[in-house]
Structure formats: C-alpha cells, structure tokens
C-alpha cells in the first residue's frame, strides 16, 4: 500500500464512518442526506486535523475532486524509487563533511572500526533514544488537535489536556470518562502513544 489517508467521519458526537478517505466518502454519501452532510466533520487519523472535503454532487464527483486535490495520497500510491547510482551508494553510503576538534578526531580514530563506524553507531543510538519522545509528541498533538475541534466545551476538557501533556494516563482517562462514547474512544485512539511506556 502507498500513502493511504485514513480518517474518521463524525456527525455530531457519533462516528459515521472510518477507513480510507475514499471509503469514508462513499459511506457518508450513501448514508446521509445533504443537510446532514453539511454538519459532517472528517478527521485525519494520524494528525487529528479536520480534512476539508467538498461533498457536493454525486459520489463520483466528490471522488474526482479528491483525486484532483490530493493526488494518489488519498488512495494508494506506487513507490517510485529514484534511479540507483553506480558504486557504493548501493550500501546507502552518502559522503559529507564533518568538522570536529582534534581531540574528537583522536577519540574517534581510537574506537573499534574507526571514525565512520563510530559516528554511525552514535547517530543510530541518538535516533533510537529520540524515537519514543517523537512518538509521544506526535500522539499528544493529534489528540490535542481533535479534542480542541470537537470537545472544547466538554466537561473537564482543560483538565484532560493538562493530564495529556503531563503524561498522566490514569487522570487523562478519568477526565474524559463521561464524554460521548465515540468522541472518548477516538481521543483514546489518537492518544494511544501519548504516554511514556511505564504508564501503560
């Protein structure tokens, strides 16, 4: 599969459809009348952001406009690989310039495998250490964006946001417990990676 855009459509506080954007469009066009469609909100499942979809006309019209607007990202996309270069790039090696102080070079040269191997290891370790924090931030932002759009006037909304950013899973779930079930469940889905592992 390519960059399929997954989303969830809400009519009021109820989920009407979820899945790929095309699937959601086809489902809501079949299920809702024109008046209800004007109240519909569609959210990107990866970011929590609303997606602006022009639902006027028949289903084919809507799908055609989406294709024109989003290209293949609304559905599937073939992976177009860049042309391979001859020689070492087969290994994914890219040359570049690194400026270090003499003491850094001395230390790197003394490591097993030499400077290049040691630098690659250090970078991989740093990337791995940062991955969880990046995942947490992205999940927090998705939940926050969706909550702000649909739940800003819900009971204990601000308390729930504070618990979300404090990484307090139990308090977060407590504050959203009496929200409309579909809203609450979607918030939980978006916030699934928003808490440090030790809280899960």
pLDDT for 194? 95
Q: What contacts 15, CB < 8 A, 6 or more positions away?
A: 8, 9, 182, 186
- Report how far residue 183's alpha carbon sits from residue 150's, in angstroms, rounded to the nearest whole number: 8
- pLDDT per position as a tens digit, 131-149: 888 899 999 999 999 999 9
pLDDT for 78? 42
* pTM of the full structure: 0.71
pLDDT for 126? 81
Contact (CB, 8 A) for 59 and 25:
yes
C-alpha pair distances (Å), 102 with each of 40, 95, 105, 106, 112: 62, 20, 5, 6, 18
pLDDT per residue, tens digit, the chain (200 aa), is 446 899 999 999 999 999 999 999 999 999 888 888 888 999 999 999 999 998 888 999 999 988 887 775 554 444 444 555 554 445 566 777 878 888 888 888 888 888 888 888 888 888 877 788 889 999 999 999 999 999 999 999 999 999 999 999 999 999 999 999 999 999 999 999 999 875 55
DSSP-H helix ranges across the chain: 21-31, 34-38, 59-70, 102-110, 114-150, 157-166, 169-176, 181-190
pLDDT for 36? 87
């Amino acid at each position: 599969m390519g960059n399929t855009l997954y989303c969830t459509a809400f009519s009021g506080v109820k989920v009407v459809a979820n899945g790929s954007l095309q699937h959601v469009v086809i489902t809501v066009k079949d299920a809702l009348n024109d008046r209800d469609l004007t109240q519909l909100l569609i959210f990107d499942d990866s970011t929590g952001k609303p997606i602006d979809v022009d639902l006027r006309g028949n289903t084919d019209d809507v799908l055609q406009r989406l294709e024109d607007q989003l290209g293949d990202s609304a559905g599937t996309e073939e992976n177009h690989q860049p042309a391979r270069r001859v020689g070492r790039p087969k290994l994914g090696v890219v040359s570049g310039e690194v400026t270090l102080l003499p003491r850094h070079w001395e230390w790197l040269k003394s490591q097993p495998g030499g400077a290049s191997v040691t630098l690659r290891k250090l970078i991989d370790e740093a990337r791995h250490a940062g991955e969880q924090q990046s995942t947490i931030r992205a999940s927090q932002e998705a939940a926050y964006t969706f909550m702000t759009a649909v739940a800003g006037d819900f009971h204990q909304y601000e308390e729930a946001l504070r618990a979300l950013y404090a990484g307090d899973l139990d308090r977060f779930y407590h504050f959203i417990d009496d929200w409309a079930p579909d809203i609450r469940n979607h918030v939980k889905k978006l916030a699934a990676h928003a808490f440090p592992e030790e809280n899960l």
